[in-house]
Amino acid sequence: MFPQQLINGLTLGSVYALVAVGYTMVYGIIQLINFAHGEIYMIGAYLAFTAIAVLHLPFPAALLLSMASCALLGVAIDFVAYRPLRKAPRLAALITAIGMSLFLQNIAQAIWGANTRPFPFEAIPKFFYASAFSLVQVGGATVATVGEIPTEVAARPDLTIVLQISWLQVVILTVSLLLMVGLHLIVHRTRIGTAMRACAQDQMMASLVGINVNRVIGFTFALGSALGAAAGVLVGVYYNAIFPTMGYRVGVVAFAAAVLGGIGNVVGAILGGLILGLAEALGAAYISSEYRYAIAYAIMILVIVFKPSGLMGSPAAERT
Amino acid sequence: MLELRGVTTAYGLLEAVKGVDISIRDGEIACLIGANGAGKSTTLLTIAGVLRPLRGTIALEGHRIDGLSADNIVQRGVSLVPEGRRIFPDLTVAENLSLGAYARRDRAAIANDLEWVFGLFPHLAERKGQKGGTLSGGEQQMLAIGRALMAHPRLLLLDEPSLGLAPRIVEQIFEILVEINRRGTTLFLVEQNAHLALTVAQTGYVMETGRIVLHDRADRLIKHPQVRSAYLGE
């Protein structure tokens, strides 16, 4: 049971990490907790749903379309809601972010309805739900299988499943990993990535070397939103349920993950996401699934009490 | 090359620069001296586009640049080495320098300039891969100047390049500034070290509480009784 919860936790955690990265990057550059970020995740799921149900796109195309659309949406939100408040007290932008979050939730409800919807089943590749790898115990022996468990083994009455990983979990873990590697390369190996790091360290100086700071901030929103949308699509398929408030729940946990890792630090956010995903899965298995959020928050509070800057945060990140 | 006419800059209601006229000729070294809080840094920040003037005009080679954003002004050939150097501490020396050329696309010329900067500051070449924040104060000042040069400016603004550095390092940096000027870059220098500034400059301005109170050739200002008593401690 433990290995199974570990894999479930990592799957969930990699999704939290994708969302947490968006919170932390925006905070790193403009010191704003973008409360509307969870709603990007929700809208990402709905856009993929629509792309599949209405445009009949295959799953990978729907995922990419959703990420691209949400990148634009992120830029638009920054332009309309946050950019005019760049020089205003930070509280003004924070309240605007909360307002934007509610606004997007209600828009989604108006467009897609308040009911929980399943992903269009026929559009999801069938192999997603097949077993990719399993570890079973039969008659005292442990058998590892790539692919489905053979029927003669599955029929055995003394069968215990130790671990079973579905292709969907493999897809979620792989896509998350690829996106995070891609993000790392963008931030550390490209011109715009260097500009992002420069803006996070000293915005005035960034403008003095010729960087258009607003454009870099817009790019940061686009990047974070694309990752958030990917997470929304993956979770929508994983739980096979999308609803207008799904972003709020994940947003709260992902925000906790970003704080836990040290807000402003991308690696910290990924680490925080994985920790909270694992804690949620293990907590639900061994304590009670009712306490999943309580556990996530207890961990966050403990870390903040003993290391206020978070796991990877430096005290210098606590600029005012 | 640069003309300020009646420039007034305010922080809220407080006017830090009041109706300043400054004229810098192509190819010269001009300096602005004055006490702490006189408005020298504000003047430079206004030219660089970080602050907007409340009144007055700033023209670069006849074209108005007041009201343009800082990143725009860099692209027009004006670079500022700000007070306190403000290098990017978590970026490497090489990354700091490459950001200096952020707005440029002429790869070959950028590579040339990088070589030139490494020639001026061999220390920086040795520390290419090191984080900017780990450099000594003198090295950080060199990096800040090198970064500004990577934008290939026609006019280089320097805010207190000698601040907090050992005399030997200051001397070294000023020699390099003269060398940069000899290569054709116009310099506008803000300094508290009035003697040093007036020695290297051709033109000097003296600022008190937001106004230019004296303006003359540097070799004459250095002998001016008012300057001698107030800024040269004699």
Written as tens digits, the pLDDT of chain A (320 aa) is 788 999 999 999 999 999 999 999 999 999 999 999 999 999 999 999 999 999 999 999 999 999 999 999 999 999 999 999 998 998 999 999 999 999 999 999 999 999 999 888 777 888 888 899 998 888 888 888 898 888 888 888 888 888 999 999 999 999 999 999 999 999 999 999 999 999 999 999 999 999 999 999 999 999 999 999 999 999 999 998 999 999 998 998 999 999 999 999 999 999 999 999 999 999 888 888 888 778 878 888 898 888 888 888 775 444 43
Contact B70 A208 (CB under 8 A): yes
Contact B151 A209 (CB under 8 A): yes
CB B31 within 8 A of CB B11: no
Dig out the tokens for B39 from the structure.
């408005």
CA A238 to chain centre: 13
ipTM of the complex: 0.93
How would DSSP label each residue in A261-273? H-TT-HHHHHHHH
Range 172-231 of B in CB contact (< 8 A) with A: none
Find the chain A residues whose C-beta atoms sit closer than 8 A to any C-beta of B. 191, 194-195, 197-198, 201-202, 204-213
Q: Does B98 touch chain A (CB under 8 A)?
A: yes
Please list every residue in chain A whose beta carbon sits closer than 8 Å to the beta carbon of residue B102: 191, 195, 209-211
For B65, which DSSP code? -
Nearest CA in chain B to A190: B95
Contact B88 A207 (CB under 8 A): no
Nearest CA in chain B to A213: B71
Task: Provide the residue range defining the domain that includes B219.
Answer: 2-231
What backbone torsions phi and psi does residue B211 show, to the nearest 5 degrees? -120, 150
Contact B74 A210 (CB under 8 A): yes
CB B124 within 8 A of CB B146: yes
- CATH number of the domain enclosing B35: 3.40.50.300
Nearest CA in chain B to A187: B91
Q: Does B88 touch chain A (CB under 8 A)?
A: yes
Q: What is the dihedral of CA B61, B66, B70, B72, to 10 degrees?
A: -50
pLDDT at B50 over 80: yes
pLDDT of residue B29: 97
CA A14 to chain centre: 7
In total, how many domains does chain B have?
1
Name the residue with tokens 């958030």.
A228
Nearest CA in chain B to A192: B102
Distances (CA, A) of B127 to B122, B124, B136, B175: 9, 5, 11, 21
Contact A211 B102 (CB under 8 A): yes
Dig out the tokens for B157 from the structure.
């603004």
Query: B194-225: string of b/e by CB count within 10 Å (b at 16+)?
Result: bebbbebbbbbbbbeebebebbeebeebbebe
Of residues A28, A75, A15, the one with CA closest to residue A225: A75
Structural domain boundaries in chain A: 2-123+166-249
Residue A194 is nearest to which of B75, B80, B95, comparing CB atoms?
B95
Rounded to a whole number of angstroms, the distance from the CA of B222 to the nearest CA of chain A is 32
Chain segment B80-103, per-residue pLDDT in tens: 999 999 999 999 999 999 999 999
Dig out the tokens for B73 from the structure.
């002004």
